[in-house]
């Protein structure tokens, strides 16, 4: 599985946008980029995924670089409930999710 690199932690203030980066320089052409998050004491939760084009859903936006070697998860207005560990995961031809250590996002009121 191709490797991803994320900052260990990030901070944000409530109601501000948050940009969570992920580097995946060894991504292959068929790897999907998935984002999950894990709120404290809960199971992982799907956030968004994409292949080449930018994607939007009710939770977040995913901006994918043109060369696909990096991506950014965008939370448009952070809330306290968005405090979680965010995982960027590449998936190709496999059902399983390989979790890294992710980025721990702290949100301050």
Partner 1 sequence: EPEVTQTPSHQVTQMGQEVILRCVPISNHLYFYWYRQILGQKVEFLVSFYNNEISEKSEIFDDQFSVERPDGSNFTLKIRSTKLEDSAMYFCATRILQGTNTEAFFGQGTRLTVV
| Member of 43, 53, 67, 109 binding partner 1 (CB under 8 A) | 43
Largest alpha-carbon pair distance within the chain? 41
Least distance from partner 1 to the Cβ atom of residue 9, Å = 15
Q: Which secondary-structure segment (H or E) carries 10?
A: strand 9-13
Report how far apart the first and last C-alpha atoms of the chain are (Å, whole number): 38
Alpha-carbon distance of 105 to 102, in angstroms, equals 9
Alpha-carbon distance of 62 to 22, in angstroms, equals 11
Alpha-carbon distance of 10 to 70, in angstroms, equals 17
Site for partner 1 contains 3 (CB under 8 A) = no
Please check whether residue 69 is in contact with residue 23, taking contact to mean a CB–CB distance below 8 angstroms. Answer: yes
Indicate the residue among 99 and 108 with the shorter CB distance to partner 1: 99
Least distance from partner 1 to the Cβ atom of residue 101, Å = 6
Site for partner 1 contains 101 (CB under 8 A) = yes
Indicate the residue among 31 and 82 with the shorter CB distance to partner 1: 31
Least distance from partner 1 to the Cβ atom of residue 26, Å = 16
Number of residues this chain uses to bind partner 1 (CB under 8 A): 24
- Chain residues binding partner 1 by CB under 8 A are 30-32, 34, 38, 42-46, 49, 51, 87, 91-101
């Amino acid at each position: 599985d191709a490797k991803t690199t994320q900052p260990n932690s990030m901070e944000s203030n409530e109601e501000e946008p948050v940009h969570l980066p992920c580097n995946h320089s060894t991504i292959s052409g068929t790897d999907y980029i998935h984002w999950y998050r894990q709120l404290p004491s809960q199971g992982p939760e799907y956030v968004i995924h994409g292949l080449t084009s930018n994607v939007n859903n009710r939770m977040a936006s995913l901006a994918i670089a043109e060369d696909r070697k990096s991506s950014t998860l965008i939370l448009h207005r952070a809330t306290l409930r968005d405090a979680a560990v965010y995982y960027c995961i590449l998936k190709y031809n496999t059902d399983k999710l390989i979790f890294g250590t992710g980025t721990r996002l702290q949100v301050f009121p």
